[in-house]
């Protein structure tokens, strides 16, 4: 019997056929690829979250029981006895954080006594970096019924750019949620009760219009809000109407 030469045969897998893995074993290359993919997805998710968070306005009034020092940015004259005070929020990306229907309290030590007064800003949380107050200044010796004038308004009028004022809020028993939906507390200790109104009648005089203005602005800014507003407004100077921006909101609305 003759000798036969046995040649080893090499079986080449068909192109595109994945290699077989022995159960219980995994390819280091495959694990590395999966790890890189997971890290990429986590990085993208974290980046997206941080971008959304950075774009979200920051709230100034986080605690209604705390006082927040805000710096006076500017003081402009509206008319002979009314001024607009602009205060800076902590950063250019901050909003005040005041729900519609709520107000703030300003406090100061004046002649040794603590004076606290409520005010409603004419700006909203669409305005970032600042808050505006329009205040009538009651000067001493002008009105016989108020010989000493207004303590807080005169104090604010005496401030210089850069001076600090204490703000506290939000405060109030009424909150407007939009589309005629209100949340009203009968008193401070009572839980809020829902109320619905389709027509609102309001009466205001002078700078006392600011609480009504806050509500009117919120309603007119929402084209889907069907609430109707009826305002009876009286003031000695017609200029205040345009300064508060009422004319621009009334255009195009019935």
Domain spans of the chain, in order of start: 59-250
- The answer to whether 249 is annotated as binding is no
Residue 246's pLDDT is 58
- The answer to whether 176 is annotated as binding is no
- The answer to whether 227 is annotated as binding is no
Nearest CA-CA partner of 121 in 90, 156, 73, 167: 167
Tell me how far CA of residue 130 lies from CA of 87, 96, 101, 204, 217, in angstroms: 6, 8, 19, 25, 18
Residue 141's pLDDT is 87
Q: Under 8 Å CB-to-CB from 20, ≥6 apart: which residues?
A: none
- The answer to whether 55 is annotated as binding is no
CA 196 to chain centre: 24
Strands 181-184 and 113-119: unpaired
- The answer to whether 151 is annotated as binding is yes
Mean pLDDT (10-residue bins), the chain, 254 residues:
50 52 59 72 66 76 97 94 96 97 98 97 96 95 87 98 98 97 95 96 91 93 95 76 57 54
- The answer to whether 33 is annotated as binding is no
Architecture of domain 59-250: Beta Barrel (2.40)
Residue 163's pLDDT is 98
Residue 252's pLDDT is 52
- The answer to whether 54 is annotated as binding is no
Q: Is 28 left (phi over 0), alpha (psi -120 to 50) or beta?
A: alpha
- The answer to whether 155 is annotated as binding is no
- The answer to whether 183 is annotated as binding is no
């Amino acid at each position: 019997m003759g000798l036969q030469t046995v040649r080893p045969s090499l079986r080449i897998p068909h192109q595109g056929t994945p290699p077989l893995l022995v159960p219980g074993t995994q390819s280091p290359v495959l694990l590395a690829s999966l790890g890189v993919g997971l890290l990429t997805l986590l990085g993208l998710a974290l980046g997206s979250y941080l971008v959304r968070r950075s774009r979200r306005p920051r709230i100034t009034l986080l605690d209604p029981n705390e006082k927040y020092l805000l710096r006076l940015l500017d003081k402009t004259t509206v008319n002979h006895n009314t001024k607009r005070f602009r205060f800076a929020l902590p950063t250019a990306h901050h909003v005040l954080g005041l729900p519609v229907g709520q107000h703030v309290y300003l406090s100061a030590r004046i002649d040794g006594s603590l004076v606290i007064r409520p005010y409603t800003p004419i700006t909203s949380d669409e305005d970032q970096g600042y808050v505006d107050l329009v205040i009538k200044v009651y000067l001493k010796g002008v009105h016989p019924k108020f010989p000493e004038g207004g303590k807080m308004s005169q104090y604010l009028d005496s401030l210089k750019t850069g001076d600090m004022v204490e703000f506290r809020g939000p405060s109030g028993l009424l909150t407007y949620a939009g589309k005629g939906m209100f949340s009203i507390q009968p008193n401070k200790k009572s839980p809020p009760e829902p109320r619905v109104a389709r027509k609102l009648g309001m009466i205001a005089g002078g700078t006392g219009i600011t609480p009504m203005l806050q509500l009117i602005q919120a309603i007119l800014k929402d084209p889907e809000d069907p609430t109707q507003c009826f305002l009876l407004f009286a003031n000695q100077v017609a200029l205040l109407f345009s300064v508060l921006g009422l004319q621009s909101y009334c255009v195009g609305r019935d």
